């Protein structure tokens, strides 16, 4: 199963049975002691500084998750705050937020006694007590505000039923038990109030740079709008920098969330508009409205991006993102995604992003470079595919020509696809050998996109290659999905943030159009149904007319894996660097990176729930 630890990974070196048995007894004694100790401590809430990362789980704000990451222990410490506890809850992780084949921590009550245990759900959603109790309960504390539940979970375990916690997106699931249950198996997960939240659990452990004393702030926020009473809204608002605003460096930004709307503001971005236009119309309304001026589509240069669960974003001490001054537009577009599944009415909002900037310019301007695939229909995904792979290349020829001799340093990355995207990874290759993963997300979701600081800076030198691979799922589609700008078309992009800024703004590829034309001719030759390859028929129409049998699918996969590419090695002005960029050979990779072997820990305890004394629970 893709969500389970055994999928796609090598067996982990588990301890011997005797060692596991001794470790089990030891951890059980420790866990029971901690539970007795901490449950007895009623009163004050745990310190927020112990759990620096926080996200609301449900739209009503009844459940709030805080956590901390211990890289030395290879473990995550969770604090779950339950504002109005009824008869228990479920919390856990799964591949894409399903409640089937999920890894769960469960608190349940029969009305008199309460229990905590590590469980898993099968393909039908039936719950089972796990034979290994890898969610370690550290304490439960009642306060006047609600219940605090503290527990620990290792990144990787030797349990095939457990989720492997990795870098990238994690789909968290939760459920609230509103009636007493007499056993774990009696919980019907299809009948409970439940939901999904996406987060990046494994935050990078980086040092926050010292901020200058002359730092200023600017808030780009919505002007007290009324959030529409519908589940999903993208709201656009145009803002302006002051007249004659000189060049500054953005050195940090953070979210500004209206109190009470923490569970509704899903993600936000601030875009700078194209400098080629002298002015942009004012606008304040839904981004998909027919009244939105078309010119706003030219506001696409990302200055800041935030998603739920993210903290402040800091630039490295050597660099800042330039805005203002000659050649820079005064106009900015704020875009806010509101997720309002309970369809609240009349909620006012003034959320946005606070920019921290300085007139004392740092040593380097930071730059943003696009890697991956060109936005073109020649890259397509057949319908009915569960894991179709497309790859875009930034070749050694382009980096040799466009990067300085000392190279560049990538410090952050934002991965991007449209609705069919499931995985994205960018790998650095040098001399034909894969050297380093730049950024990877094996549980990528197009509904959770943020600029993520990398755990370590990646140095890229002239002659290096940056290879971006995207995996798509089109099982719910009946015709081909082509590349393009539309939401039902696809993209494969990694926006890398780096310094020092160069002229190279886009380093992407697509299959050579001539070879794709040969593919359509081949389909005509070997299939009864004719595919029109006339010049007047567009590439999307040709793809839509392909009969997607096994042969046509396999030939397309083969085409993308060997055919020459058209390289786009572009300057900021959208003009290619001088050189021959058509019919370029694919990079040759002679040595692949090895999959990391998970480091498993001894089993914490036997397959038995931990009893808790939580007092009388609510029935109404």
Residues 195-237 pLDDT 10s: 999 999 999 988 888 899 999 999 999 999 999 999 889 999 9
Q: Environment class of residue 302 by beta-carbon count within 10 Å: exposed (0-12), middle (13-18) or buried (19+)?
A: middle
The distance between the two most distant Cα atoms of the chain, rounded to a whole number of Å, is 78
CA gap 532, 520 in Å, rounded: 8
* Res. 11: pLDDT tops 70: no
Query: pLDDT, tens digit, for every residue of 92-114?
Result: 999 999 999 999 999 999 988 99
CA gap 422, 292 in Å, rounded: 31
Q: Which residues contact 163 (CB under 8 A, 6 or more apart)?
A: 3, 4, 5, 92, 93, 94, 102, 103
Q: How many C-beta neighbours within 10 Å does residue 42 have?
A: 10
Residues 190, 125: contact at Cβ < 8 Å? yes
List 193, 416, 447, 517, catalytic entry: 416
Domains annotated for the chain, with CATH where assigned, are 53-203 (2.60.40.1210), 216-362 (2.60.120.310), 366-571 (2.60.120.230)
High-pLDDT (> 90) share of the chain, %: 73
DSSP per-residue letters across 521-563: HHHHHH-SS-----TTS-HHHHHHTS---HHHHHHHHHHHHHS
Q: What are phi and psi of 47, to 5 degrees?
A: -70, 135
CA gap 460, 498 in Å, rounded: 10
Query: pLDDT, tens digit, for every residue of 244-300?
Result: 999 999 999 999 999 999 989 988 999 999 988 999 999 999 998 999 999 998 998
pLDDT for the residue 582: 97
CA gap 62, 525 in Å, rounded: 61
R_g over Cα of the chain: 26
> What CA–CA distances, in Å, run from 530 to 122, 185, 537, 544?
45, 55, 13, 12
pTM, two decimals, is 0.85
Residues 502, 367: contact at Cβ < 8 Å? yes
Residues 602, 28: contact at Cβ < 8 Å? no
Query: pLDDT, tens digit, for every residue of 237-258?
Result: 999 999 999 999 999 999 999 9
Question: What is the pLDDT averaged over residues 339-365?
Answer: 95
Q: For residue 193, indicate whether it is catalytic.
A: no
CA gap 283, 220 in Å, rounded: 14
pLDDT for the residue 206: 83
Query: pLDDT, tens digit, for every residue of 116-175?
Result: 999 999 999 999 999 999 999 999 988 989 999 999 999 999 899 999 999 999 999 999
> What CA–CA distances, in Å, run from 281 to 222, 268, 352, 406?
16, 21, 20, 42
More confidently predicted of 506 and 47: 506
Q: For residue 416, indicate whether it is catalytic.
A: yes
List 53, 128, 234, 283, catalytic entry: 234
- Secondary structure, 3-state, 56-81: ECCCCCCEEEEEEEECCCCEEEEEEE
CA gap 247, 272 in Å, rounded: 14
């Amino acid at each position: 199963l893709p969500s389970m630890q055994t999928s796609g990974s090598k067996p982990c070196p588990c301890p011997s049975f005797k060692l596991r048995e001794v470790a089990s007894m030891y951890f059980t004694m420790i866990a029971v002691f901690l539970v007795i100790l901490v449950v007895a401590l009623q009163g004050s809430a745990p310190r927020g500084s112990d759990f620096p990362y926080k996200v609301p789980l449900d739209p009503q704000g009844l459940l709030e998750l805080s956590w901390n990451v211990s890289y030395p222990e290879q473990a995550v410490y969770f604090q779950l705050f339950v504002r109005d506890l009824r008869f228990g809850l479920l919390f856990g992780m799964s591949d894409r937020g399903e409640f089937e084949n999920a890894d769960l921590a469960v608190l349940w009550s029969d009305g008199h006694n309460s229990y905590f245990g590590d469980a898993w759900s099968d393909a039908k959603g039936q719950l089972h007590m796990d034979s290994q109790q890898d969610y370690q309960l550290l304490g439960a504390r009642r306060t006047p505000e609600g219940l605090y539940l503290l527990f620990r979970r290792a990144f990787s375990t030797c349990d095939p039923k457990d989720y492997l916690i990795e870098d990238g997106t994690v789909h968290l699931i939760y459920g609230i038990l509103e009636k007493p249950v007499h056993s774990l198996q009696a919980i019907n997960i299809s009948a409970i109030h439940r939901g999904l939240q996406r987060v990046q659990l494994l935050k990078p452990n980086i040092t926050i740079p010292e901020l200058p004393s002359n730092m200023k702030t600017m808030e780009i926020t919505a002007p007290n709008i009324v959030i529409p009473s519908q589940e999903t809204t993208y709201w656009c608002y145009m803002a302006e920098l002051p007249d004659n605003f000189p060049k500054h460096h953005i050195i940090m930004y953070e979210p500004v969330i209206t109190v009470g709307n923490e569970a509704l503001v899903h993600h936000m971005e601030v875009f700078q508009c194209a400098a080629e236009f002298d002015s942009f119309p004012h606008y304040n309304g839904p981004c998909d409205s027919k009244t939105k001026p078309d010119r706003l589509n030219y506001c696409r240069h990302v200055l800041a991006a935030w998603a739920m669960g993210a903290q402040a974003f800091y630039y490295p001490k050597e660099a800042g993102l330039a805005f203002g001054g000659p050649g820079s537009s005064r106009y900015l577009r704020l875009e806010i995604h509101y997720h309002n599944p309970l369809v609240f009415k009349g909620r006012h909002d003034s959320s946005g992003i606070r920019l921290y900037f300085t007139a004392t310019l740092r040593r380097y301007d930071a730059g943003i470079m696009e890697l991956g695939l060109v936005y073109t229909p020649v890259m397509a995904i057949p319908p009915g595919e569960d894991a179709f792979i497309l790859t875009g290349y930034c070749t050694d020829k382009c980096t040799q020509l466009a990067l300085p001799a000392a190279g560049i340093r990538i410090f952050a990355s934002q991965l991007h696809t449209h609705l069919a995207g499931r995985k994205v990874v960018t790998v650095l290759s040098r001399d034909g050998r894969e050297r380093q993963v730049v950024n990877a997300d094996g549980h990528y979701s197009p509904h959770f996109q943020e600029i993520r600081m990398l755990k370590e800076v990646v140095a890229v030198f002239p002659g290096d290659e940056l290879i971006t691979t995207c995996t798509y799922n089109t099982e719910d589609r009946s015709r081909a999905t082509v590349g393009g700008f539309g939401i039902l078309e696809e993209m494969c992009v990694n926006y890398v943030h780096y310094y020092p800024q160069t002229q190279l703004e886009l380093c992407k590829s697509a299959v050579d159009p001539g070879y794709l034309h040969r593919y359509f001719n081949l389909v005509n030759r070997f299939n009864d149904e004719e595919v029109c390859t006339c010049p007047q028929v567009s590439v999307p129409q040709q793809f839509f007319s392909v009969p997607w049998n096994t042969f046509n699918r396999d030939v397309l996969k083969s085409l993308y894996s060997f055919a020459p590419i058209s390289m786009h090695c572009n300057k900021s002005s959208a003009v290619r660097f001088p050189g021959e960029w058509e019919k370029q050979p694919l990079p040759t990779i002679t040595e692949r990176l090895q999959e990391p072997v998970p480091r498993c820990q001894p089993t914490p305890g036997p397959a038995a729930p931990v009893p808790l004394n939580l007092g009388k629970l609510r029935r109404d």
